[in-house]
Amino acid sequence: MTRYARIVGWGKFLPPKVLTNFDLERMVDTSDEWIRTRTGIRERHMVNDPNIASSDLAVEAAKRALSVADMTAGDIDLIMVATSTPDHLFPATACIVQDKLGATQAGAFDVSAACSGFIYGLALARGLIASGEIDTILLIGTEVLSRFVDWNDRETCVLFGDGAGAVVIKASEERGGVMASMLGADGSGASLLGLPMGGSRLPPSVDGIAEGENHIKMKGRPIFRFAVHVMAESSRVVMEKMGWAPEDVDLVVPHQANERIIRAAMKQLKIPMEKAYLNIATHGNTSTASVPMVLVDAINEGRIKQGSKLVLTGFGAGLTYAAVAIEWGARTPAPEAPIHRNILRKIGYNLAHVRSAMRRAVRAFYGFLLGPEEGGGWRVPIRQKFDEWLGLRGKEK
Ligand code: COA
């Protein structure tokens, strides 16, 4: 029996602060006219609270997706977070999301494929569900790119925005969902876009920061050419796998990097531009969050119905590229979840905070109880007993 990976929940979250092109005019040598005509962007959202990180946006988007799916965090088997701006190099942001949601039954890991990450995640989800290993997956794309942008570099700072989008993917025997995928990469283009500092190649250093290596570096032109080609090519591959002609496709959900890239790719695909959904004007390029947020906007605008044939396509640093074909299975708009179920979910999230705090407290208590033997006083025999129990030392004679 074939197991299909159907999207049953979706949600997005944008930080409230909006940065317009006119705001940028006051920061760097640019103009609203240049940004609009060269990229299609008018404004973007950005996090302006230093305490908010990618996992926080991810959790908000995930809660909305779980509400649409009318599921609780306990129903999730696996959390995948696609992100280029994780909370930390490690642990995975997905683990932080797992804890914040209280998804105690879920495994968790990050997908690092830059702006193609969400589509890579959809392809992975399809495979895991088809294999029978996993039933329910929460896949999130989340970014706080504003924290890594060089606000003096006009070539990059005008492009990027923050946000998060999430979907719940569930195994089903009914046909539909993510039906075909294509994953690609060309690592010879790795130097064209990235964040040089922070990894093992160039760990953080004062000198590096002084040279601006802690900011996003990009060579826009070659990426532009690459992007048009791979967006069209990857879409063509998944359409061929599905046996779809250009006229069969109801909607293209493209990564929102530049409106001109999308127009050129659509032209190559011979699919009219009206069949591409764009929110770049108000969102900018939100990397891994862009495709799921477009999906949510298109659903909310009534552009996706049961049975719609969708092509999702993207590209990004790596260089990576990917596409998936989706036969949309869920009802849109989603029926409102009953109020009591929403209340239960809210209680669940609050309990998750309590549970997490308790687990930390217990660990801290053990840390204190089993602390260093030197000067440990009354704690020494307890620690010895505990170590014996763990097999860390032989029984005291
Ligand atoms: N405001 C005003 N002028 C700007 C500018 C800005 N924000 N950014 C660049 N310029 C200038 C350049 O300095 C250049 O000036 P010059 O001709 O005097 O040298 C001129 O505009 C044209 O630059 P160019 O790089 O050729 O522009 P472009 O049409 O290629 O557009 C990008 C630049 C970055 C918008 C475009 O190349 C692009 O979108 N590339 C893909 C990037 C991308 O998608 N990255 C994310 C991948 S997920």
pTM: 0.95
The set of residues, in sequence order, having a beta carbon less than 8 Å from that of 206 and lying 6+ positions away, is none
Tokens of residue 313, six digits: 């396509």
Residue (of 294, 291, 314, 289) closest to 304 by Cα position:
294
| pLDDT tens-place string over residues 259-283 | 999 999 999 999 999 999 999 999 9
CA 121 – CA 64 distance, rounded (Å): 19
Provide the pLDDT for residue 117: 98
| pLDDT tens-place string over residues 120-167 | 999 999 999 999 999 999 999 999 999 999 999 999 999 999 999 999
Is the pLDDT at 380 greater than 90, yes or no?
no
Using the mean position of ligand 1's atoms as its centre, give its distance from the Cα of residue 153 in Å.
Answer: 11
| pLDDT tens-place string over residues 79-123 | 999 999 999 999 999 999 999 999 999 999 999 999 999 999 999
Q: Is 157 annotated as catalytic?
A: no
Q: Which of 45, 215, 255, 283 is catalytic?
A: 255
Using alpha carbons, list the distances in angstroms from residue 337 to 100, 275, 303, 333. Answer: 22, 30, 21, 12
Is the pLDDT at 396 greater than 90, yes or no?
no
Provide the pLDDT for residue 17: 98
Whether the Cβ atoms of residue 155 and residue 172 lie closer than 8 Å to each other: no
Q: Which of 21, 95, 115, 279 is catalytic?
A: 115
Q: Which amino acid is at 246?
A: P
Provide the pLDDT for residue 373: 63
pLDDT band at residue 324, thresholds of 50, 70 and 90?
Answer: very high
Q: What is the mean pLDDT of residues 203-218?
A: 97
Side-chain-facing half-sphere of 265: CA atoms under 13 Å: 33
Give me the phi and psi of 19, to 5 degrees please.
-115, 115
Using the mean position of ligand 1's atoms as its centre, give its distance from the Cα of residue 109 in Å.
Answer: 34
The residue whose CA is least distant from atom 40 of ligand 1 is: 220
> Which atom in ligand 1 lies closest to the alpha carbon of residue 115?
48
Out of 224, 228, 260, mutate this one to test ligand 1's pocket (max ligand atoms within 8 Å of CB): namely 224
Provide the pLDDT for residue 392: 76
Q: Which of 21, 258, 279, 285 is catalytic?
A: 285
Q: What is the mean pLDDT of residues 59-86?
A: 97
Out of 155, 157, 231, mutate this one to test ligand 1's pocket (max ligand atoms within 8 Å of CB): namely 155
CA 295 – CA 304 distance, rounded (Å): 8
Q: Where are the domains of the chain?
A: 4-327, 339-390
319 within ligand 1 shell (Cβ under 6 A): no
Burial class of 182 by CB neighbour count within 10 A (0 to 12, 13 to 18, 19+)? buried
| pLDDT tens-place string over residues 23-49 | 999 999 999 999 999 999 999 999 999
Residue with tokens 């989603």: 334
38 within ligand 1 shell (Cβ under 6 A): yes
DSSP code, position 6: E
pLDDT band at residue 397, thresholds of 50, 70 and 90?
Answer: low
Out of 39, 158, 221, mutate this one to test ligand 1's pocket (max ligand atoms within 8 Å of CB): namely 221
CATH number of the structural domain 4-327? 3.40.47.10
Provide the pLDDT for residue 391: 81
Using alpha carbons, list the distances in angstroms from residue 182 to 167, 218, 248, 334. Answer: 19, 25, 19, 28
Burial class of 187 by CB neighbour count within 10 A (0 to 12, 13 to 18, 19+)? exposed
Provide the pLDDT for residue 101: 98
Whether the Cβ atoms of residue 70 and residue 341 lie closer than 8 Å to each other: yes
CA 351 – CA 371 distance, rounded (Å): 29
Q: Is 152 annotated as catalytic?
A: no
Q: What is the mean pLDDT of residues 3-7?
A: 98
291 within ligand 1 shell (Cβ under 6 A): no
229 within ligand 1 shell (Cβ under 6 A): no
Using the mean position of ligand 1's atoms as its centre, give its distance from the Cα of residue 220 in Å.
Answer: 6
pLDDT band at residue 385, thresholds of 50, 70 and 90?
Answer: confident
CA 300 – CA 352 distance, rounded (Å): 30
Q: Is 255 annotated as catalytic?
A: yes
The residue whose CA is least distant from atom 34 of ligand 1 is: 220
> Which atom in ligand 1 lies closest to the alpha carbon of residue 260?
39
33 within ligand 1 shell (Cβ under 6 A): no
The set of residues, in sequence order, having a beta carbon less than 8 Å from that of 148 and lying 6+ positions away, is 85, 195, 214, 215, 216
